[in-house]
Amino acid sequence: MTAAPVMHERLLADFAAGRTPALARAISIVENHRPGFEQLLATWHPMLGRARRIGLTGPPGAGKSTLTTALARAYRKAGLTVGIVAVDPTSPFTGGALLGDRIRMEDIALDPGVYIRSLATRGSLGGLSAATRETCDVLDAFGMDRILIETVGVGQSELDVARTADTSLVVLVPESGDSIQTLKAGVMEIADVFTVNKSDRPGADRLRNEIEIMLGMRGGSAMRNVPAHHGVDLSRNNLVKQVRAAARAEDADVWTPPVLGTVGVQEQGIDELVEALDRHFRYLERSGTLRQRRRARLRERVVEVVEDKARRRLWNDAATIAWLEARLPALESGQDTPFGIADALLSRSADLLTRTTT
Amino acid sequence: MTAAPVMHERLLADFAAGRTPALARAISIVENHRPGFEQLLATWHPMLGRARRIGLTGPPGAGKSTLTTALARAYRKAGLTVGIVAVDPTSPFTGGALLGDRIRMEDIALDPGVYIRSLATRGSLGGLSAATRETCDVLDAFGMDRILIETVGVGQSELDVARTADTSLVVLVPESGDSIQTLKAGVMEIADVFTVNKSDRPGADRLRNEIEIMLGMRGGSAMRNVPAHHGVDLSRNNLVKQVRAAARAEDADVWTPPVLGTVGVQEQGIDELVEALDRHFRYLERSGTLRQRRRARLRERVVEVVEDKARRRLWNDAATIAWLEARLPALESGQDTPFGIADALLSRSADLLTRTTT
């Protein structure tokens, strides 16, 4: 344990020199919250913000992996370095799917200007969005120009992950047309750019029209300026109100999400997609939205770190666990309740929770 | 706000009298953490433990809803009351699927001895497994004899939900055969009973054989006694060791998960399934495993409540939020880091975290 700081000095030097093995090791340390991970992230914190973070979300089978690969190739051609974070909430029943997707990425995986990392669920240990944010921070500090965050479309966790990006690309397929009415509000709200992938299939044009109509109906443009999906969850009402007021006060610089068509496997429409993503980033910078979003991301990051620290301080403390175990019989017999015990546990934990260690 | 206790007195009386509208209202209050929800759950805490909780997990399309419905019908025929909790991690891209499943349940939904509740993701507000546990507690206190917890097969959250049950039924289909090798360890460990549903399709017998071979290979029987999947996440190594030692010390009462075959839509194999679930429950009681699992569940429940209380106390506090906002500029400029601010935030929050209110 005492050797850890020394090892990290070496790691920091290799990392600063742009050595990929150091990047890989850094992500592993951070992902698994190994000793010293906080110091590493704190060291790199002032270097963040260079990379553009682009999230790709959409239903399973929409071709997100193929599109991620195509985007990475396009960025490489333009001389940019690319980090790819493939977020897999590891369905225990579909463990095989991702592997197939990875194989398609093989050619770019051999490119030293590309770094690919798969992230699996970290259980209750802080969640996928925290792990995603931390991994992206490491890639950003390493100097990657673009970070592509690809999620395997499943539920709320996907929206949480999407919120960690600067730009959210929603990937649909013509077959999504049947369920377009059921796209939850969350999807429409996070989408900065849409693409109908596999656009050579029937129904692509109709779907593109439908999305555009939905965007129009929702009066989306007036709202696009507002990062309503970024904010501290439990107290955001108040904050969101402030941010909205600030946004309204500005001359409304309007972003209407474009609806593109792509055929990922044939690399069709990729240039237009890259252009739309660049255009969105310019909008983010020009309108001040980039700063708002990144500030919201930092706020959420602090909330995550606070909760993670509190959890670790409590549940890694042997005396607390022993205290809890001793109360289980009263809980079983119904003499005490989880709420009473929780209050008592927090009452006795003031020192534990507030002492400044990890 | 001052009227709330009075309203809850009335609710408690109606609930005790077995009135379904009171059950529905109670679940809504608890699910949304409305004022007074802790008092309600605390009042009912001593009444818990009568219901048998059965979790159904498996990949999408395995027919879990149909099987849930068939099981509910069988229990009703035996004169038992049934609560059904349908847990939907609300994929934003497949919002329509659940509705179709619900329609199949229509006939039992009209039976006053059955109560069906759908649970959607509660975002960061404590998570699905907490919401599931709380809803099951309300159904248990109301007097339901059996509680069926059905999840729509997606990832880690599903395993978390499964861990809230006394008995976990894993539902597969012949088509799952291709991916049986990829079933993550978690699935094999939580399964108390397997059924290959849609068993009239080709490949059913082969899949049943494969599962049985896997169970044998894994030397599962010696482990079955141990509730390895129940425990406080962050400190469980130590606790699990204790529980395992205790289990080894007992005369090993062995449970080997049976692998059944069912055809849900034709109600084939349901009697055998009910029998297997009953047999498992008798094993749980006889071996002491029931008590171990329920004790582990209570332990996890306290952990959940502690974390939820800590979160609410911090993030509902206007002064804390204002303090955090004031530090964002230093965070943006890289002068400060999320870790430094998190430490400082916790340091100043001792009173807030430890005061005994909600």
Q: What is the pLDDT of residue B219?
A: 46
Query: Which of the 8 DSSP states describes residue B159?
Result: H
Residue whose tokens read 């017999």? A333
Give me the residue from A176, A318, A328 closest to B299, CB to CB. Answer: A328
In 3D space, the residue among B203, B215, B201 whose CA is nearest the CA of residue B259 turns out to be: B215
Q: How many residues would you count in chain B?
A: 358
Contact across the interface for B46 and A334, Cβ inside 8 Å: yes
Range of the domain at A324: 317-354
A 10 A CB-CB count for A329 gives: 11
CB B194 within 8 A of CB B211: yes
B5 and B79 in a single domain? The answer is: no
B136 and B226 in a single domain? The answer is: yes
A39 and A59 in a single domain? The answer is: no
Mean of the pLDDT values across residues A258-281? Answer: 96
Tokens of B289: 């495993």
In 3D space, the residue among A117, A111, A103 whose CA is nearest the CA of residue A81 turns out to be: A111
B197 and B338 in a single domain? The answer is: no
Q: Who contacts A351 (Cβ-Cβ below 8 Å, separation ≥6)?
A: none
Instruction: Name the residue type at position B6.
Output: V
In 3D space, the residue among B94, B151, B175, B121 whose CA is nearest the CA of residue A62 turns out to be: B94
CB B183 within 8 A of CB B119: no
A 10 A CB-CB count for B325 gives: 14
In 3D space, the residue among A140, A100, A134, A103 whose CA is nearest the CA of residue A119 turns out to be: A134
B239 and B340 in a single domain? The answer is: no
**Chain mean pLDDT for chain A:** 82
In 3D space, the residue among A75, A71, A68, A132 whose CA is nearest the CA of residue A101 turns out to be: A68
Longest Cα–Cα distance in chain B: 68
Pairing of strands B82-88, A114-120: unpaired
On whether residue B294 sits in a domain, the answer given is no
B239 and B97 in a single domain? The answer is: yes
Give me the residue from B95, B304, B345 closest to A306, CB to CB. Answer: B345
On whether residue A141 sits in a domain, the answer given is yes
In this prediction the pTM is 0.81
Distance CA B50, CA B64 (A): 24
pLDDT tens-digit map of A324-358: 999 999 999 999 999 999 999 999 999 999 887 65
On whether residue B244 sits in a domain, the answer given is yes
pLDDT band at B100 (very low <50, low <70, confident <90, very high): very low
In 3D space, the residue among A159, A154, A194 whose CA is nearest the CA of residue A174 turns out to be: A194
Of A215-229, B12-26, B305-319, which range is least confident? A215-229
pLDDT tens-digit map of B154-175: 566 677 777 789 999 999 999 8
Distance CA B341, CA B328 (A): 9
Tokens of B318: 């206007």
On whether residue B293 sits in a domain, the answer given is no
**Which residues of chain B make contact with A309, given a CB cutoff of 8 A?**
342-343, 346
**Which residues of chain A make contact with B238, given a CB cutoff of 8 A?**
318, 321
A96 and A224 in a single domain? The answer is: yes
CB A97 within 8 A of CB A137: no
pLDDT-above-70 percentage for chain B: 76
B21 and B108 in a single domain? The answer is: no
Contact across the interface for B356 and A337, Cβ inside 8 Å: no
B34 and B53 in a single domain? The answer is: no
On whether residue A306 sits in a domain, the answer given is no
On whether residue A301 sits in a domain, the answer given is no
Q: What is the pLDDT of residue A14?
A: 96
Helices and strands (H and E) in chain A: how many? 17, 7
pLDDT tens-digit map of A4-14: 454 689 999 99
Task: Choose from B43, B57, B64, B93 for mutation: most chain A CBs within 10 A.
Answer: B93
B61 and B29 in a single domain? The answer is: no
Residue whose tokens read 């998960």? B257
ipTM for the predicted complex: 0.83
pLDDT tens-digit map of A237-251: 444 554 554 455 444
Q: Which residue intervals of A85-126 are DSSP H helices?
A: 97-104, 106-109
Q: Who contacts A165 (Cβ-Cβ below 8 Å, separation ≥6)?
A: A53, A54, A55, A149
Q: What is the pLDDT of residue B104?
A: 61
Distance CA A157, CA B89 (A): 9
A 10 A CB-CB count for A261 gives: 20
CB B165 within 8 A of CB B53: yes
**Which residues of chain B make contact with A354, given a CB cutoff of 8 A?**
346-350, 353
A269 and A343 in a single domain? The answer is: no
Tokens of B218: 């894994």
Task: Choose from B214, B302, B332 for mutation: most chain A CBs within 10 A.
Answer: B302
On whether residue A202 sits in a domain, the answer given is yes
Nearest CA in chain A to B189: A92
B117 and B224 in a single domain? The answer is: yes
Number of domains in chain B: 3
pLDDT tens-digit map of B177-224: 666 665 666 677 789 999 999 999 999 999 999 888 888 765 444 344
Which domain CATH number covers A85? 3.40.50.300
Task: Choose from B39, B45, B50, B91 for mutation: most chain A CBs within 10 A.
Answer: B91
Quick one: how far is CA B29 from the chain centroid?
Answer: 18
Pairing of strands A52-57, A167-172: parallel
Q: What are phi and psi of B2, to 5 degrees?
A: -70, -20
Query: Which of the 8 DSSP states describes residue A169?
Result: E
A129 conformational bin, left if phi > 0, alpha if psi -120 to 50, beta if neither: alpha
Distance CA B194, CA B168 (A): 9
On whether residue B225 sits in a domain, the answer given is yes
pLDDT tens-digit map of B264-320: 999 999 999 999 999 999 999 999 999 999 999 999 999 999 999 999 999 999 999
